Chain A
């Protein structure tokens, strides 16, 4: 594909439910990033994947958040037992190997009722 794609584009869920957000990076990109953009808070870095290496999970806001990347390509961000404060736009970006620059997807807008 031409760019980073994310699905779903919008997700409305009830408090306490689990959600999965998907990111398809640009083909050939080895680096993959997840960010959260909350109203009035700017972008908050969550986690980084480089190829198939295990990520540093210290940036995830709580143990309800987890992320994985299969085969060094597609990534899934999972939020368990969602809370209203999880409502935000979740952005994925990919980059490399020839450029360090991050290219962002359109984001998934998550609303927790």
Chain B
């Protein structure tokens, strides 16, 4: 079993829909949880960062962490075609950078927003 599981998709939804992306993990030592967005042939860019359990909202994006279930989610409201990308969850024991352990990533979910 990999430390972080993420459905690779593709996930295809119509424009304006609410998108739900999620990851599960097995290592209870993870304390820092991130969502990255990666466009084709580009490097990942940080979208959301959450420490420990709880919710965090930034514009159309909401990140949720449930440490008791080892489950994290990213919600995108009013989805736009420009949101079409691969979304990667990442987590670490040592801060949002991961330190000497780096970040542990899911494989990414390919999201397609249909105009």
Q: Which residues of A does B touch, CB under 8 Å?
A: 4, 31, 33, 35, 40-46, 48, 50, 56, 59, 91, 93, 95-96, 99-107, 109
Contact = CB atoms under 8 A, between A and B. Distances in A.
A44 B95 CA distance: 17
A56 B100 contact: yes
Interface in B17-59: 36, 41-46, 49
Given A4-B43, A43-B44, 13 more contacts: A42-B88, A43-B88, A43-B103, A45-B103, A48-B99, A50-B99, A93-B43, A101-B46, A101-B96, A102-B46, A104-B43, A104-B44, A104-B45
A33 B104 contact: no
Interface in B60-115: 88, 90, 95-108
A42 B96 contact: no
The interface residues of chain B, by DSSP majority, are classed as loop
